[in-house]
Structure 1
Amino acid sequence: MKLGESMQKRRGRGSGGGASLAGMGRQWRPLAGRLAVLAVVGFGGGYLIATRVFFTLPPPPTNLVEVPVLEGLALARVESALAEEGLELGTVEVLRHPAIDSGVVVGQGPMGGQLEVRGERVRVTVSLGPQLQAVPDVTRLLGDRALRVLEATGFQVTVDSADSEFAVGAVVAVDPGPGTLLRVPAAVQVTLSRGPALVPMPYLLGVPQQEAIDSLTGLGFRLLSVDTLFRFGRDQGLVVEQDPPADSLLAPQSMVRLSVGRRGG
């Protein structure tokens, strides 16, 4: 047998096998389509039988009502508002609220506008109102300690200062005053002492002794001593020296020393 004839026979056998496979594919296609249709029909039928016979769905409720909005109502009005819709008052919870008065509803569940079965209970949260706190008496305390006390009790503190007989840095006033009931957080102002106001020393040279003493006493100074110095002429009986000097700024009750002229002999 020649080489060319052998190759032609092999090609003939190969093309015959391909035609056979193609024919088998065409035979299976209608069967696969029928099987897919049967699967869909079986699933759908099983679902219908399960839901209509074995696991029937309950009918939709016909007694649904809309929950009224209760927030902002006084608790005394809540029951009547719920009763108008066929609902009942459930659990009542309370909380402190810094801005809403006591007895007012601040929350509810279910929320207003939702649908609920008639006869169900609605829970509400009611404000106890803001917390009231008396302003503590921090008068005479040093500023840093007074601020800690006030802030610990819920107050927001601002600070001012003023001349006072109290020690420097001590609280001389609280506004509002101690014992005042306020809603916390609330603003409170404290005034701290700058110490006594300083007074300028007057110019006393050439002033008669008694007049100078009266002037010092009127300004709140204390006389430490009155010394005498020998003087000629018109300085006799007049102040010739003073300590501290004129225009010195002194605290009240400061000590002053004077020297007065006298005749010799």
Structure 2
Amino acid sequence: MRAFATIAAAGQDRTLQMKKIGMIGGLSWVSTAEYYKRINEMTQAQAGGVASARIVLESVNRQEYVDAVIERGDEGAACAQIGRSARALQAAGADFIVITCNDVHRFVPELQPGLDIGFLHIAEVTAQAIKARGLRKVAILGVRKTMESDFYPEILARSGLEAIIPDEEEKRLIHDSIYEELVNNRFRDQTRREYQRIIADMGRRGADCVAFACTEIPLLLAPQDSPLPAFSTTELHCRAAVARALA
């Protein structure tokens, strides 16, 4: 009984030392589930015992977000939705915020001044990992908002990296496959082969690596199956979140 109490006390000490991760999820639930799984797997591996992460989850309604962004083209409404979730996480005692979706990070500069806690930015984490590998020209694969927004090129450029964007037909295929298949938990071999073809073509156009800049893409195509060195933004973001929580 005394041994069990000692183990329990040690586990409690590790838990009390962890920072609380505020997670904005639901965009989609598919990638959010992967975040929860990987963050807890990494936390247990690093903290030991049966440790699990301290997470408070604000799971937004993806349909509300899609209605604003796609149906109405109302960026302000979409940003306000994410802002409400960020403030809820702050009120719940989160120490920092992780958004389980790449394209939503375009709202971070607007939202950050109104918060007392910071975001762990997915593009910054990705840029650091790519730079550490000595690579420079990054193919960006994600939804249209991610591929056409400035936040990835600008953040990569701060690390001396260059963003390579798919052509129009490639963007259409990637975006449509994410919205119609991946966020609905559908992963088809044909779609996987199309991604491999696009990545290989972008390599011939100068890219020396690829960022899976949509958190569902690594569930379709494993980095080791990519024609170019590939960086899973989901994995990198989870790893960075655990490192910050346990720091």
- TM-score bracket for the superposition, by shorter chain length: under 0.3
**Which is helix-richer, 1 or 2?**
2
State the structure with bigger RCO (CA 8 A, min sep 6), 1 or 2: 2
**Which is strand-richer, 1 or 2?**
1
Tell which structure's C-alpha radius of gyration is larger.
1
TM-score (norm: length of structure 2): 0.19
TM-score (norm: length of structure 1): 0.18
